[in-house]
Amino acid sequence: MAVTGADAARETSSVRNLSDHLRGRANSSSSRLWSAKIARVRTEVEVGQFSSQRALARTLFSAYSLGLNSEYLSEALIILRDLHGRAPEESLAQDTLDLGEALFAEYRRTGQVKHLEDMLAIHARVSTHRLLRTSLDCQHARALIARGVCVQEHGDLQRAKELISTIEPRLADSSSSQLLVACNVYHGTIWRDHNPHNIEQLRLIQDHSRDLLNRHGLVRWRSEVLGCCFLVCNAICSVGGNPDEMESAILTECNDDALQTRAKSVMDPSDMLCSLTLLYFNLGSRRAEAFYIAKAREWVEQMSHALTNKAMDPTETLHSLGMCLYVARSWLILDDNVVFEDTITHYRKAIGRSPCPHPIRHQYLLGLSLSLFMLFQYTGSMSALNEGTALSQNFRDIASTSPPLAIVLARLLSERVQAGRLRNAAKHGLLRRAIQVLQSALSQTRSGSVHYSPLLQQLSSVYQLQGDLGLSPDRAEHLAIVRIRSSLPFDGDLPEQLQTKLDLIYALLELAREAKDQAALQEATLLLTDIAKTSDVIAWDGESIRPDLDLLHGSSHIIRGILSGTTVEPATISEMFVSSMSDISGHTIDHLSRCLKWARLARAAAEPTLEMQAYRHAIGLLPRLAHLGGDISSRLKALHLVEGMATRAAVLALSMNGVCEAIELLEQARGVVWSQSLHPRVSLEAIPQDHVASFTQATDSLRMSSDATERRQYAAELEFIIGRIRKVEGYERFLLPCLYQELRACAAHGFIVLVIPSDTATHVVVIASPTSSPVHLRLSALKLGRLHSLTANLKSMSDRCRDSEVEEARGMKKVEVPSVKAALRSEYVDVLGELWTELVYPIITSVNLQVRRLRLFDALFSTRGIALVRSTTLMVVSDGTGRRAPNPRGRDL
Amino acid sequence: VVSSYTPTLSALINAQASPMDPIAHSDGGILVVSLPDVTGLPPLPNAEVEASVVQDLVSAANPSALTGERASISNVLTQLPGISVFHLACHGHQSQDDPLTSGFSLHDGRLTLEQLMQLHLPNAKLAYLSACETASTDEYQPDEAVNLAATMLFVGFKSVIATMW
Helices and strands in chain B: count of H runs, count of E runs: 5, 8
Instruction: Please determine, for residue A549, whether its predicted confidence score (pLDDT) is greater than 80.
Output: yes
Q: Does A669 touch chain B (CB under 8 A)?
A: yes
Give the whole-angstrom CA distance, residue A823 versus residue A817: 10
Closest approach of A602 to chain B, Cα-based (Å):
22
Q: Does A802 touch chain B (CB under 8 A)?
A: yes
Give the pairing of strands B109-112 and B103-106.
Answer: antiparallel
Pairwise pLDDT comparison (A423 vs B55), residue with the higher score: B55
* Residues of chain B positioned with their CB less than 8 A from the CB of A796: none
Q: Which chain A residue has its CA at the smallest distance from B49's CA?
A: A809
Pairwise pLDDT comparison (A145 vs A232), residue with the higher score: A145
Q: Does B145 touch chain A (CB under 8 A)?
A: yes
| Span A553-572, pLDDT tens digits | 888 888 888 888 877 777 77
Give the whole-angstrom CA distance, residue A475 versus residue A454: 20
Give the whole-angstrom CA distance, residue A611 versus residue A648: 10
Instruction: Please determine, for residue A870, whether its predicted confidence score (pLDDT) is greater than 50.
Output: no
Pairwise pLDDT comparison (B31 vs A698), residue with the higher score: B31
3-state secondary structure at position B105: strand
Pairwise pLDDT comparison (A729 vs A819), residue with the higher score: A729
Q: Which chain A residue has its CA at the smallest distance from B120's CA?
A: A681
CB A821 within 8 A of CB A861: yes
Give the bridge partners for B130, in sequence order.
Answer: B89
Give the whole-angstrom CA distance, residue A278 versus residue A293: 9
Nearest CB to A878 within list B1, B96, B154: B1
Closest approach of A419 to chain B, Cα-based (Å):
10
A251 Cβ partners below 8 Å, 6+ apart? none
Nearest CB to B46 within list A742, A809, A875: A809
Nearest CB to A421 within list B17, B42, B140: B140
Band (A692; pLDDT cuts 50, 70, 90): confident
Band (A695; pLDDT cuts 50, 70, 90): confident
The pLDDT of residue A614: 92
Closest approach of A382 to chain B, Cα-based (Å):
6
Average pLDDT value over all residues in chain A: 71
The pLDDT of residue A375: 83
B82 Cβ partners below 8 Å, 6+ apart? B28, B29
The pLDDT of residue A664: 92
| Span A596-617, pLDDT tens digits | 888 988 888 888 998 999 999 8
Q: Do A889 and B6 touch (CB under 8 A)?
A: yes
* Residues of chain B positioned with their CB less than 8 A from the CB of A877: 1, 3
Q: Which chain A residue has its CA at the smallest distance from B13's CA?
A: A746
Band (A154; pLDDT cuts 50, 70, 90): low
The pLDDT of residue A186: 53
Nearest CB to B6 within list A422, A788, A888: A888
Band (A16; pLDDT cuts 50, 70, 90): very low
Nearest CB to A888 within list B12, B98, B144: B12
| Span A649-670, pLDDT tens digits | 999 999 999 999 999 998 888 8
Q: Do B165 and A678 touch (CB under 8 A)?
A: no
Q: Does A875 touch chain B (CB under 8 A)?
A: yes
* Residues of chain B positioned with their CB less than 8 A from the CB of A799: 165
Q: Do B165 and A799 touch (CB under 8 A)?
A: yes
CB A815 within 8 A of CB A852: no
Band (A458; pLDDT cuts 50, 70, 90): confident
Q: Does B23 touch chain A (CB under 8 A)?
A: no
| Span A96-123, pLDDT tens digits | 888 888 888 777 666 667 788 888 888 8
For a pLDDT cut of 90, what percent of chain A falls above it?
Answer: 4
Give the pairing of strands B29-34 and B64-67.
Answer: parallel
User: What is the mean predicted confidence (pLDDT) over A660-687?
Assistant: 74
Instruction: Please determine, for residue A448, whether its predicted confidence score (pLDDT) is greater than 70.
Output: no
The pLDDT of residue A9: 37
User: What is the mean predicted confidence (pLDDT) over A495-504?
Assistant: 76
Best A385, A642, A871, A887 residue to mutate vs chain B (most B CBs within 10 Å): A871
Instruction: Please determine, for residue A392, whether its predicted confidence score (pLDDT) is greater than 70.
Output: yes
Q: Does B5 touch chain A (CB under 8 A)?
A: yes
* Residues of chain B positioned with their CB less than 8 A from the CB of A888: 3-6, 9, 12
The pLDDT of residue A238: 60
What sign results for the dihedral spanned by CA atoms A3, A9, A11, A15? positive
The pLDDT of residue B71: 93
Band (A749; pLDDT cuts 50, 70, 90): confident
Instruction: Please determine, for residue A217, whether its predicted confidence score (pLDDT) is greater than 90.
Output: no
Nearest CB to A639 within list B4, B16, B144: B144
Q: Does A803 touch chain B (CB under 8 A)?
A: no
Nearest CB to B163 within list A420, A752, A867: A867
Q: Which chain A residue has its CA at the smallest distance from B96's CA?
A: A421
For a pLDDT cut of 70, what percent of chain A falls above it?
Answer: 62
Best A746, A852, A879 residue to mutate vs chain B (most B CBs within 10 Å): A746
The pLDDT of residue A239: 56
ipTM score? 0.85
The pLDDT of residue A152: 58
Instruction: Please determine, for residue A879, whether its predicted confidence score (pLDDT) is greater than 50.
Output: no
Nearest CB to A809 within list B13, B45, B100: B45
- Give the highest mean pLDDT range of A65-69, A220-224, A312-316: A312-316
Pairwise pLDDT comparison (A516 vs A641), residue with the higher score: A516
| Dihedrals phi, psi of A449, to nearest 5 degrees | -70, 155
How many CB pairs below 8 Å do chains A and B form together? 150
| Span A325-345, pLDDT tens digits | 877 888 877 767 888 888 888
Q: Do A647 and B143 touch (CB under 8 A)?
A: yes
User: What is the mean predicted confidence (pLDDT) over A866-873?
Assistant: 28
Band (A878; pLDDT cuts 50, 70, 90): very low
Say which DSSP state A839 is in: I
The pLDDT of residue B128: 94
CB interface of A with B, residues 228-247, below 8 Å = none
A432 Cβ partners below 8 Å, 6+ apart? none
User: What is the mean predicted confidence (pLDDT) over A410-414?
Assistant: 83
Instruction: Please determine, for residue A18, whether its predicted confidence score (pLDDT) is greater than 60.
Output: no
* A391-395 long-range contacts, CB within 8 A, separation 24+: A391/A365, A391/A366, A392/A366, A394/A362, A394/A365, A395/A362, A395/A363, A395/A365, A395/A366, A395/A369
Q: Does B7 touch chain A (CB under 8 A)?
A: yes
Q: Which of A405-414, A662-671, A695-704 has the lowest mean pLDDT?
A: A695-704
CB A804 within 8 A of CB A839: no
Q: Do B145 and A891 touch (CB under 8 A)?
A: yes
Instruction: Please determine, for residue A148, whether its predicted confidence score (pLDDT) is greater than 80.
Output: no
Instruction: Please determine, for residue A694, whether its predicted confidence score (pLDDT) is greater than 70.
Output: yes
Q: Do A421 and B10 touch (CB under 8 A)?
A: no
The pLDDT of residue A662: 94
| Dihedrals phi, psi of A188, to nearest 5 degrees | -60, -35
| Span B60-93, pLDDT tens digits | 778 889 998 999 999 999 999 988 899 999 999 8
The pLDDT of residue A868: 27
Give the whole-angstrom CA distance, residue A637 versus residue A376: 9
Q: Does A874 touch chain B (CB under 8 A)?
A: yes
Say which DSSP state A838 is in: I
Residue B127 CA: distances (Å) to CA of A741, A892, B7, B144, B154: 30, 20, 16, 21, 12
User: What is the mean predicted confidence (pLDDT) over A677-685?
Assistant: 58
Q: Do A671 and B144 touch (CB under 8 A)?
A: yes
Band (A535; pLDDT cuts 50, 70, 90): low
Q: Do B117 and A677 touch (CB under 8 A)?
A: yes
Q: Which of A12-21, A126-135, A417-426 has the lowest mean pLDDT?
A: A12-21
Give the whole-angstrom CA distance, residue A536 versus residue A554: 18
| Span A807-816, pLDDT tens digits | 665 555 444 5
The pLDDT of residue A495: 64
Say which DSSP state A268 is in: S
Band (A232; pLDDT cuts 50, 70, 90): low
Average pLDDT value over all residues in chain B: 84
What is the per-residue DSSP string for B24-80?
-GGG-EEEEEE-S--TTS---HHHHHHHHHHHHHTGGG--EEEEGGG--HHHHHHHG
Pairwise pLDDT comparison (A437 vs A152), residue with the higher score: A437
Q: Does A889 touch chain B (CB under 8 A)?
A: yes
Helix residue spans in A334-451 (DSSP H): 338-353, 358-379, 382-392, 396-401, 403-418, 424-443
Closest CA to A574 of A528, A619, A536, A605: A605
Q: Which of A112-121, A135-144, A246-255, A349-358 has the lowest mean pLDDT?
A: A246-255
Nearest CB to B154 within list A647, A677, A889: A677
Q: Does B136 touch chain A (CB under 8 A)?
A: yes
CB interface of A with B, residues 614-643, below 8 Å = 632-633, 636, 639-640, 642-643
Q: Do B97 and A382 touch (CB under 8 A)?
A: yes
Q: Which chain B residue has its CA at the smallest distance from A756's CA?
A: B143
Give the pairing of strands A762-767 and A752-757.
Answer: antiparallel
Band (B112; pLDDT cuts 50, 70, 90): very high
Buried b (16+ CB within 10 A) or exposed e, A530-564: ebeeebeeeeeeeeebbbbbbbbbbbbbbbbbbee
Say which DSSP state B99 is in: G
The pLDDT of residue A81: 82
Q: Does A733 touch chain B (CB under 8 A)?
A: no
Closest approach of B138 to chain A, Cα-based (Å):
9
* Residues of chain B positioned with their CB less than 8 A from the CB of A670: 7-8, 143-145
